[in-house]
């Protein structure tokens, strides 16, 4: 029966001798199928859902010159819910398989960004031969353990707060629940504590099935829910999207929790990246310390470090904020807690990035969103991750747009920060 599956392998990879598997055995052969293929139901059951052709993004208000090329309408990937009986989940990148034999398996490509034939550097488990793709980390497709059923909530980017909250993780759970799988355990990877806290808050009685990076777990009924999300690694950032309906569904679940804080009007909130783990300077304002001091003194801003806060603390801070000032990054996820109409100012570099991506979230929440483009400063980083310097005069314009009231006279930055 598996011979017919060769018809699904529609393209060939470039010839390259595969590495042997651990132990010197021949590497394991893999064929790829996608939701668009005509797949026998004994292999994979796919239910396609109504999906718009495109996702529209409200235009950002910009303060300052830039070399950005905003894309305010982007193709919408197909929504679907799939089920693989006797599936396998690989715990390093959470790839789903269906075993064909001891030496071969079918890889189910969930989204275009995970296509094997892009030879993606984020899928290092695979090597390319003249006619086949090979899975090299293991000696066989024998599972390390088995579970009866589960929803695959984990993704390659599950460690990232925005991807977990807004783009992929929680949206997968919400979509699976709507499709009738609300009682299934959630298959997850290693998560920061805030990721686990949001799951426990919204699904307090849901069983969680963690999968370690070295594990290949058999799942009797493996559910894969795919919202209209596209999270490319590189090369196609202008088409990156996440599902507006998922934003609506998550907001509806969180509204009763956030609503008690919405009537408050606490001090403007300034999100800091100064303590974010990673290479020094990566995607940060080089004059960040001066900006924090300036905004605190002039506008009474409260400076926070979300990665150091509990989920409860983040909900209270964002839901009660009169204004949010935030560098582009994962912390933008927390707008999901904010009241409707709370103005938000993002800042980041003035080229090589696509800040309108965050406009999908702000638009659905009816939150006015402005962007402060800032010139990059050399730091030896890839284009998307270079540090930048925020212009004080432009920031003042943005604060006026947001209706912020100064508490004192303008305070000049230090000569070093001003450049």
- The percentage of the chain sitting over the pLDDT mark of 70, rounded to a whole number, equals 87
pLDDT (mean) for 312-333: 96
Report the pLDDT value the prediction gives residue 280, as an integer from 0 to 100.
58
pLDDT (mean) for 270-294: 85
How does pLDDT run across 238-276, given as a tens digit for each residue?
899 999 999 999 999 999 999 999 999 899 999 999 888
More confident residue, 334 or 383: 334
pLDDT (mean) for 62-89: 95
Report the pLDDT value the prediction gives residue 120, as an integer from 0 to 100.
58
pLDDT (mean) for 404-411: 74
CB of 211 within 8 A of CB of 89? yes
Report the pLDDT value the prediction gives residue 158, as an integer from 0 to 100.
87
- The percentage of the chain sitting over the pLDDT mark of 90, rounded to a whole number, equals 67
- The average confidence (pLDDT) of the chain is 87
pLDDT (mean) for 270-296: 86
CB of 179 within 8 A of CB of 50? no
How far the first Cα of the chain sits from its last, in Å, is: 68
- Whether the per-residue pLDDT at 413 is higher than 60: the answer is no
Report the pLDDT value the prediction gives residue 357, as an integer from 0 to 100.
96
How does pLDDT run across 171-182, given as a tens digit for each residue?
999 999 999 999
Report the pLDDT value the prediction gives residue 224, as an integer from 0 to 100.
97
Report the pLDDT value the prediction gives residue 26, as an integer from 0 to 100.
63
How does pLDDT run across 111-168, given as a tens digit for each residue?
888 888 776 556 778 888 777 889 988 888 999 999 999 999 999 888 899 999 999 9
Q: What is the dihedral of CA 177, 238, 365, 192, to 10 degrees?
A: 60
Report the pLDDT value the prediction gives residue 262, as an integer from 0 to 100.
96
Burial profile 300-339: b = 16 or more Cβ within 10 angstroms, e = fewer:
bbebbebbeeebeebbbbbbbbbbbbbbbbbbbbbbbbbb
Closest by CA position to 303, among listed 289, 311, 292: 292
Residue 50 φ/ψ region, left for φ over 0, alpha for ψ in the -120 to 50 degree band, beta for the rest: beta
pLDDT (mean) for 393-397: 95
pTM of the model: 0.90
More confident residue, 13 or 219: 219
Residue 282 banded pLDDT, cuts 50, 70, 90: confident
Report the pLDDT value the prediction gives residue 386, as an integer from 0 to 100.
87
How does pLDDT run across 6-43, given as a tens digit for each residue?
333 333 333 344 454 444 456 799 999 999 888 888 88
- Whether the per-residue pLDDT at 412 is higher than 80: the answer is no
Residue 94 φ/ψ region, left for φ over 0, alpha for ψ in the -120 to 50 degree band, beta for the rest: left
CB of 219 within 8 A of CB of 199? no
Residue 102 banded pLDDT, cuts 50, 70, 90: confident
Residue 389 banded pLDDT, cuts 50, 70, 90: very high
More confident residue, 352 or 398: 398
pLDDT (mean) for 37-65: 93
List, in order of start, the domains of the chain with CATH numbers: 2-239 (no CATH), 244-410 (3.40.50)
Report the pLDDT value the prediction gives residue 414, as an integer from 0 to 100.
43
Report the pLDDT value the prediction gives residue 157, as an integer from 0 to 100.
87
Report the pLDDT value the prediction gives residue 121, as an integer from 0 to 100.
58
More confident residue, 80 or 278: 80
How many C-beta atoms surround the C-beta of residue 72 within 10 A? 12
Q: Give the integer Cα–Cα distance in Å for 361 and 220.
A: 35
Q: Give the integer Cα–Cα distance in Å for 54 and 394.
A: 33
- Whether the per-residue pLDDT at 332 is higher than 60: the answer is yes
Residue 201 φ/ψ region, left for φ over 0, alpha for ψ in the -120 to 50 degree band, beta for the rest: alpha
Q: Give the integer Cα–Cα distance in Å for 153 and 48.
A: 18
Give the contacts of 398 (CB within 8 A, at least 6 positions apart): 63, 345, 370, 372
């Amino acid at each position: 029966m598996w011979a017919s599956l060769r018809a699904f392998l529609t393209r060939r990879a470039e010839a390259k001798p595969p590495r042997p598997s651990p132990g010197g055995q021949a590497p394991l052969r893999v064929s790829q199928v996608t939701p668009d293929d005509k797949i026998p139901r004994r292999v994979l059951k796919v239910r396609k859902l109504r999906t718009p052709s495109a996702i529209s993004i409200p235009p950002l208000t910009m303060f300052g010159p830039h070399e950005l090329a905003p894309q305010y309408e982007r193709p919408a990937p197909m929504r679907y819910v799939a089920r693989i009986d006797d599936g396998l989940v690989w715990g390093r990148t959470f790839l789903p398989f269906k075993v064909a034999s001891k030496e071969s398996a079918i890889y189910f490509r969930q989204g275009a960004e995970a296509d094997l034939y892009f030879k993606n550097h984020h899928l290092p488990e695979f090597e390319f031969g003249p006619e086949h793709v090979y899975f090299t980390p293991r000696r066989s497709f024998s599972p390390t353990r088995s579970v009866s059923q589960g929803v695959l909530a984990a993704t390659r980017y599950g460690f990232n707060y925005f991807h977990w909250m807004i783009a992929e993780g929680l949206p997968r759970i919400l979509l699976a629940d709507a499709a009738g799988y609300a009682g299934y355990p959630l298959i997850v990877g290693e998560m920061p504590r805030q990721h686990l806290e949001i799951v426990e808050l919204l699904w307090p009685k849901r069983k969680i099935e963690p999968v370690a990076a070295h594990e290949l777990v058999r799942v009797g009924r493996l559910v894969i829910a795919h919202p209209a999300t596209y999270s490319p690694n590189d090369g196609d950032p202008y088409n990156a999207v996440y599902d507006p309906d998922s934003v609506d569904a998550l907001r509806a679940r969180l509204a009763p929790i956030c609503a008690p804080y919405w009537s408050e009007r606490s001090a403007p909130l300034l999100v800091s990246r100064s303590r974010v783990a990673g290479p020094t300077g990566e995607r940060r304002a080089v004059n960040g310390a001066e900006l924090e001091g300036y905004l605190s003194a002039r506008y009474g801003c409260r400076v926070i470090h979300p990665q150091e806060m509990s989920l409860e603390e983040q909900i209270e801070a964002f839901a009660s904020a009169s204004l949010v000032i935030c560098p582009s990054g994962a912390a933008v996820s927390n707008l999901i807690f904010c009241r409707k109409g709370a103005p938000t100012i993002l800042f980041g570099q003035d080229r090589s990035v696509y800040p309108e991506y965050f406009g999908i979230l702000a638009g659905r929440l009816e939150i006015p969103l402005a962007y402060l483009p800032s010139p990059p400063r050399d730091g030896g980083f890839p284009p998307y991750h270079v540090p930048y310097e925020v212009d004080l005069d432009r920031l003042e314009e943005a604060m006026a747009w947001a209706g912020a009231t100064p508490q004192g006279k303008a305070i000049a930055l230090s000569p070093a920060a001003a450049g």
